[in-house]
Structure 1
Amino acid sequence: MMMRPMLLACLLLLSAATMAQAVRQVDICVYGGSSAGVIAAYTAKKMNKSVLVIEPGRRLGGLTSGGLGYTDIGNKYAISGISRDFYRRVGKHYGKFEQWIFEPGVAERTFHQYIREGRVEVLYQHRITAAKKENGRVTEIQLEHSAGGAAQHTAVRAKIFIDCSYEGDLMARAGISYTVGREANAQYGETYNGVQLRDKHQFPDGIDPYKTPGKPESGLVWGISPAPLEPQGAGDKKVQAYNFRICLSNQPDNMVPITKPEGYDPARYELLARLMEKLKPDNFKGILKFDRMPNNKTDINNNGPISTDMIGMNYDYPEADYATREKITREHELYNKGLLYFIGHDPRMPEHLRTEMLKWGYAKDEYPESGHWSPQMYVREARRMVGAYVMTQANCERREVVEDGVGMAAYNMDSHNCQRVVVNGMVKNEGDVQIGGLSPYPIAYRSIIPKAEDCKNVLVPVCLSATHIAYGSIRMEPVFMVLGQSAATAAAMAIDNNQSVQEVNVAALQQQLRQQPLATNATAEILVDNDDEAQVAVKGSWKKEARGAYGPSVYVSDNGGGSVRFTPTVVKTGSYRVYTYVPKHAGLSATTRVRLSENGQSVKAASYTAASVRVEGQTSGEWVDLGVMKLTKGGKAFVEITSEGADGLVVADAVLFMPQ
């Protein structure tokens, strides 16, 4: 039967309209609604670019809104721009200047503030299936609905793509070079990469690895690999362990009981029972990192030889298909839930720990859409790009300092365990590395872009180009947000100048990030650190220390009579609230005296007490409010910290001027 011309025309028009709806065109496509993804999208919108965020799940913020509320910082000096603004917005919620310890729901709502303010469009429950490239550029990515429904958009076309996923899925499908696992130390001249049998989060000697103690023929206890231990520093494809950051509550009206999970098998926790028998612990410290959040909640992380890390069970995850990843994620969830149940109910656990565990339950007001359990597994490391520059241990230790920095890192070189093996007839963990004492160091722009021959219009701020051990220092949520902003700023510049991401003028990019730290025309804050010698004058006897410093160092005086003067360079006249950073040193003077001058002549006295400095979380110090000053462009204002009349240590570290 022949189709009538009018009907055929209508069907063709309908088909064309459907195709137009299915394929979306934007300036910048951000893949992954992680913390970096939200900040990247917000930044791009503030730079007047059309943006679409593609989020495979239903929740924004990644780990930051997924339970990691006890923020890994290293040094606050490294956290800049909109990332720093995020922690100040969270602080406002809690009535503080900054807050680095927070509930998951508070973080999620803060990310949604950025989405609303930037009018950012988010496409939830969609994930990439393929990428098309022409002339070295990704022109389009194909999508499917994550939950199996009909895709709202089947493809997205963009001028620039930013991969903000923890797995690097867009990067991989774009044919960009990457690696998985640990490099051998010899590859990049490192010492902490590859196989590492060390003493942290380690079993004490004497824990038997066999199902029937002393009988190898009985087989290994669950979770122990039969693989032989490779030489120290050898490379492999093993991936550091994943877990969940667990939010519990001890408030009866906000608790969901911890019940026996599906497929629960107490044999999975046999090593924990043996460890308890040997250690006889007084508290949770040896098995759970039990950090308290506001409103009687927790951020529980791995701690000790056997804990929430599901060691050795994630090797396939980075390159697995979506169904396999979902299976691995579910196994990690059930393992973590089973661990909590085992601690609270198994008779082999000490009674006082069982009693304490039963005081806690899943927080009823968190993750209501996913059964009060975080939908975001802690994917500590998956794919890592091999880009235009590879960050290594030498960068972390500042033996090699890049000049194209577009963000900073400062956390320990940190790796969780990668395998559990038998060594000399005893069970041992392998892979944990914790090397601290790092000063803030720059992260190369070249480490967030591919090699030009791989791709010219993709940026990768999360699965960036770094060795396993360098990535262990860089891979912190605040740093991902910093790099997300830098990537979006570079993307906008590349579009404006019709360039590839490799051709972006890095000096202009660095200047843009300095001059518009919030990606707006708002007056920038003024920071004067004690290491800014041109703006700091020292009188008397002060010594520099790295311990607890904001930035590389802090001045410390213990003999009185001296002063450190901080002089801001003011580019816009106005009122500024003034803060000084106080590291948590023992023996601080009960009162520290400060002089404030708005014109370089008249002086107003101020002070703060040691008792008012309350430092929380993984941070070295706290900002102390000194009041408001009227600063004049080009003026001679200063803030002077003195050690006069002190009865203990006086610190002079950094002074911050926040426009009002």
Structure 2
Amino acid sequence: MKPERITESCDLAVIGGTPGGIACAVRAAREGLRVVLVNHTQHLGGFITSGAGGWETPCDYLRSPLYAEMITGAAEYYRNTYGENSPQHRAALPNPDSRAHIERPKVEPRVAEMLFEQMVAREKNLTVLKGFYVSDAERKNTHLVSVTITELHPKSGAGETPAPQNLRITAHAFADATYEGDLAAAAGAPCQIGREPRSHYNEPHAGVIYSTERPHTPEHTRFPQDAVAGRLNLRSFPHATGPLRQPDSTGEGDSAVMAYNYRLILTKNPANRIPIEKPKNYDPDAHKKAGNGSYVPSLPNVIADRPNVVPNIPNEKIGWNGGRLIGPHNAYPAADWPERERISRHYLDTMLSLLWFYQNDPAARECDRDYWKDYGLAADEFIDNQNLPYEIYVREARRLVGRYVFTEHDALPVPALARIHANARTPVHPDSIATTDWPIDSVACLERSSGPGAHPDGIFFLAEESRPAQVPYRTLLPQGLDNLLVPVALSASHVGWGPIRLEPVWMQTGEAAGLAAALAQKHDTTPAALDPDQLLRGLADRRVMISFFNDVDPASPEPWIPAVQYLGTKGFFATYDARPHAPLTPATATCWVKSFESLLAGAGAHDASLAASTVVHALPADDPESSTIVTLAEFAAKLRTILRGRNLATHPLESAKRALGLRCSEPLPRAAACQLIYETLGAFLPFPM
């Protein structure tokens, strides 16, 4: 047995080399922390470097700095390697000629891994430990003291029996960025595996459900319709689910989670193709067990025979999203690593069996044989793993039960706002640190059916109803632990998990967790005790999208961007249209001044939801063509009235006014009004930035 070694203490220990974990570690390192990043395999990047083939998001915004580095880094790599406007370069960018979700940015797994490795290598404060998993955690009351990590596959010397090395890491703060929530579980944080009953959070799609497909009409072939019509700045999807089948949809809870699969990277290019061999553990019935996962289900006469693939990955590749074997995955979340690897191998054998069946078995459908006959494994991917992905696609495992639980209701428009305005927002969270944009969804959880016309148990895809949502900081905070952050297996119900579970969102929550850890250490406190406003302003100033708008690109250089992003978390906007360049009208000015006053009053005085409900009533009077507008002088006078009596050596309002560069008699644009409020509020922060 190799002797146990205690590492030197670090400032932040991040467990999980997922994209969210990398973002967490890199952000903290850039803020000056000494960081250790631990991953259970020898390859960083999680799902993105194990077959995703691209970034699954209908939103084209560069939503956070580190996510932007990955998108732009891939595009630059392909441009420099293959040329400007080459097929590879174009595939790495959102397709400007199509608003279909499938035309999102693509990247080869090998290129994504290269970029992640370069990202971590640039950080001198960051140490990466590969091939270790969490085996123990030590806590003292509400404080996590240390984590013990153990080699997953120890290497033996000549004549030696392999013995795993154990390392103990102590840190000021910890982050669990695993897909499985292993550190949270080891530390004793409350976690959930499976589906809550419908009654638990009053979610219509909770528990056992059988959904039906939303029908296509000549006028309605993509979802959401608001995106198709240009009222929502998102890409659209070719299908959506509709009503639930009753009474079979009982809403009962259970321990089932979304089905898993591998995402094979395949090509027809003979120069880069490895032929599919008959698997050693070939299952001739694989097509019966997992064949339904090969196709987008229940779309008769539309795309029923289209394989479920990610097309147009650079260099003539596709990512196959089939082989969803339903059932064995439910044992994975709570299993140890040897059992997880056995389950993963079963899924991989099933997928390879399915592909071999399509190519070789006379019983295969002709359409399957014709489509798959020329595909093989990409020879330049996963070259040290027989050209097979390093990890199974874990769609859902443990979920933290934290200080806030993100549910179905958080990704649907607020009913009271929707009754007044068709473009109403989802609930406003004053501690929002990220945004979702993927629909509320789940793939199948159990292999059972309620008969023809309905999906298997657990499937739903609310592409029509779902809207971009704010992710509260509280979802990262475990109950009873003050120095642990959980940016990946964060606190959400099974239904709420659908919009959360995408890598672009996790890169946001991970980067936010890294900044939170840095700010907590800087101010000698814990992540749980950190003032959320301090974190939000830090994120907004760094161009992290904490509020989604149709007309505000969070990565734009305009000086008012942080203000609009931040005030979007305070209820200043009831819809997804910020209209930053429209003139401020009296009705909205009155609402914003009232919110400014309550924000100045301090924690607990401002109700963001109430503010949004007030603003929505101002919208009918907020006509951009209105001749009644507010000037800079008039708005500043209203704010000055609220500031009267405060002892200030330098009046922040005056310096903020000068920064705008506007004449006092000019109409005040809405963005400039937000900037004026944001910068004035900054002078009263109870913390230095």
Verify same fold: TM over 0.5: yes
Partner of 2:678: none
Partner of 1:502: 528
Shift of 1:279: 11
Distance in 2, Cα, partners of 1:525 & 1:110: 24
Q: TM-score, normalised by structure 1?
A: 0.69
Partner of 2:250: 232
Distance in 1, Cα, partners of 2:383 & 2:65: 32
CA separation of 1:334/1:49 partners in 2, compared to 1, >3 Å: closer, same or farther? same
SS in 2 for 1:94: helix
The yes-or-no answer on 1:92 pairing with 2:72 is no
SS in 2 for 1:76: coil
Decide whether the 8 Å contact of 2:107 with 2:314 is kept in 1: yes
**Which letter does structure 1 place at the counterpart of 2:22?**
V
Shift of 1:198: 1.6
**Which letter does structure 1 place at the counterpart of 2:268?**
N
Partner of 1:532: 578
Partner of 1:393: 408
Distance in 2, Cα, partners of 1:104 & 1:364: 12
Q: Deviations over 1:428-482 (max 9, x none)?
A: 621111002433221000001112xx21110001100011111111111000000
The yes-or-no answer on 1:109 pairing with 2:111 is no
Alignment partner for residue 339 of structure 1, among 345, 350, 354? Answer: 354
**Which letter does structure 2 place at the counterpart of 1:531?**
D
CA separation of 1:492/1:426 partners in 2, compared to 1, >3 Å: closer, same or farther? closer
Alignment partner for residue 52 of structure 2, among 38, 60, 68? Answer: 68
Partner of 1:209: none
Partner of 1:136: 142
Distance in 2, Cα, partners of 1:197 & 1:281: 22
Decide whether the 8 Å contact of 1:515 with 1:524 is kept in 2: no
Decide whether the 8 Å contact of 1:131 with 1:138 is kept in 2: yes
Distance in 2, Cα, partners of 1:165 & 1:315: 17
The yes-or-no answer on 1:39 pairing with 2:23 is yes
The yes-or-no answer on 1:455 pairing with 2:481 is yes
Decide whether the 8 Å contact of 2:309 with 2:318 is kept in 1: no
Shift of 1:76: 3.2
Partner of 2:65: 81
Decide whether the 8 Å contact of 1:36 with 1:483 is kept in 2: yes
Partner of 1:473: 499
Distance in 2, Cα, partners of 1:376 & 1:345: 27
**Which letter does structure 1 place at the counterpart of 2:430?**
E
**Which letter does structure 2 place at the counterpart of 1:58?**
Q
Partner of 1:199: 212
Distance in 2, Cα, partners of 1:428 & 1:532: 38
CA separation of 1:428/1:75 partners in 2, compared to 1, >3 Å: closer, same or farther? closer
The yes-or-no answer on 1:298 pairing with 2:303 is no
Decide whether the 8 Å contact of 1:54 with 1:127 is kept in 2: yes
Shift of 1:194: 1.1
**Which letter does structure 2 place at the counterpart of 1:64?**
I
SS in 2 for 1:292: strand
Shift of 1:86: 1.8
The yes-or-no answer on 1:369 pairing with 2:384 is yes
Q: How many residues align?
A: 494
Q: Deviations over 1:161-192 (max 9, x none)?
A: 10000000000000000101111111111111
Shift of 1:352: 4.8
Decide whether the 8 Å contact of 2:136 with 2:148 is kept in 1: yes
SS in 2 for 1:533: coil
Shift of 1:500: 2.1
SS in 2 for 1:532: coil
**Which letter does structure 1 place at the counterpart of 2:38?**
I
Alignment partner for residue 264 of structure 1, among 275, 282, 286? Answer: 282
CA separation of 1:281/1:364 partners in 2, compared to 1, >3 Å: closer, same or farther? farther
Partner of 1:416: 443
Distance in 1, Cα, partners of 2:662 & 2:315: 45
Partner of 1:321: 336
The yes-or-no answer on 1:154 pairing with 2:186 is no
Which protein is richer in strand relative to its size?
1
SS in 2 for 1:354: helix
**Which letter does structure 1 place at the counterpart of 2:115?**
T
Distance in 1, Cα, partners of 2:538 & 2:213: 42
CA separation of 1:184/1:262 partners in 2, compared to 1, >3 Å: closer, same or farther? same
Distance in 2, Cα, partners of 1:55 & 1:48: 21
Shift of 1:244: 1.2
Distance in 2, Cα, partners of 1:537 & 1:442: 26
In the TM superposition, 1:141-290 aligns within 5 A as: 141-149=147-155, 150-151=163-164, 154-200=167-213, 231-270=249-288, 285-290=305-310
SS in 2 for 1:429: coil
The yes-or-no answer on 1:123 pairing with 2:160 is no
SS in 2 for 1:372: coil
Decide whether the 8 Å contact of 2:311 with 2:319 is kept in 1: yes
Distance in 1, Cα, partners of 2:7 & 2:122: 26
Structure 2 gaps of 5+ residues are 80-88, 95-104, 156-162, 216-246, 415-426, 546-554, 565-575, 585-624, 626-657, 664-689
Distance in 2, Cα, partners of 1:424 & 1:358: 32
Q: Name the % identity.
A: 28
Q: TM-score, normalised by structure 2?
A: 0.66
Distance in 2, Cα, partners of 1:265 & 1:201: 34
Shift of 1:346: 1.3
Decide whether the 8 Å contact of 2:136 with 2:149 is kept in 1: yes
Distance in 2, Cα, partners of 1:282 & 1:511: 46
Shift of 1:91: 1.9
What's the C-alpha RMSD, in Å, of the aligned pairs? 3.4
Distance in 2, Cα, partners of 1:490 & 1:323: 34
Q: Deviations over 1:396-443 (max 9, x none)?
A: 114232111001101100100011225469996211110024332210
Distance in 2, Cα, partners of 1:426 & 1:184: 24
Q: Deviations over 1:191-229 (max 9, x none)?
A: 112111123599xxxxxxxxxxxxxxxxxxxxxxxxxx9
**Which letter does structure 2 place at the counterpart of 1:440?**
P
Alignment partner for residue 49 of structure 1, among 33, 37, 42? Answer: 33
Distance in 1, Cα, partners of 2:455 & 2:434: 37
Distance in 2, Cα, partners of 1:180 & 1:270: 27
Distance in 1, Cα, partners of 2:152 & 2:509: 27
Q: Deviations over 1:602-642 (max 9, x none)?
A: xxxxxxxxxxxxxxxxxxxxxxxxxxxxxx975579xxxxx
Q: Deviations over 1:367-399 (max 9, x none)?
A: 001110101111000000000000111111142
Decide whether the 8 Å contact of 1:184 with 1:194 is kept in 2: yes
Distance in 1, Cα, partners of 2:371 & 2:65: 41
In the TM superposition, 1:587-606 aligns within 5 A as: none
Shift of 1:263: 1.4
Decide whether the 8 Å contact of 1:255 with 1:362 is kept in 2: yes
Decide whether the 8 Å contact of 1:39 with 1:114 is kept in 2: no
In the TM superposition, 1:581-660 aligns within 5 A as: 634=660
Shift of 1:230: 6.4
CA separation of 1:272/1:489 partners in 2, compared to 1, >3 Å: closer, same or farther? closer
Distance in 2, Cα, partners of 1:356 & 1:56: 36
Partner of 2:394: 379
**Which letter does structure 2 place at the counterpart of 1:30?**
V
**Which letter does structure 2 place at the counterpart of 1:124?**
K
**Which letter does structure 1 place at the counterpart of 2:308?**
L
Which protein is richer in helix relative to its size?
2
Distance in 1, Cα, partners of 2:302 & 2:365: 9
Decide whether the 8 Å contact of 1:78 with 1:407 is kept in 2: no
More divergent stretch after superposition (44-53 vs 94-103): 94-103
SS in 1 for 2:184: helix
CA separation of 1:373/1:345 partners in 2, compared to 1, >3 Å: closer, same or farther? same
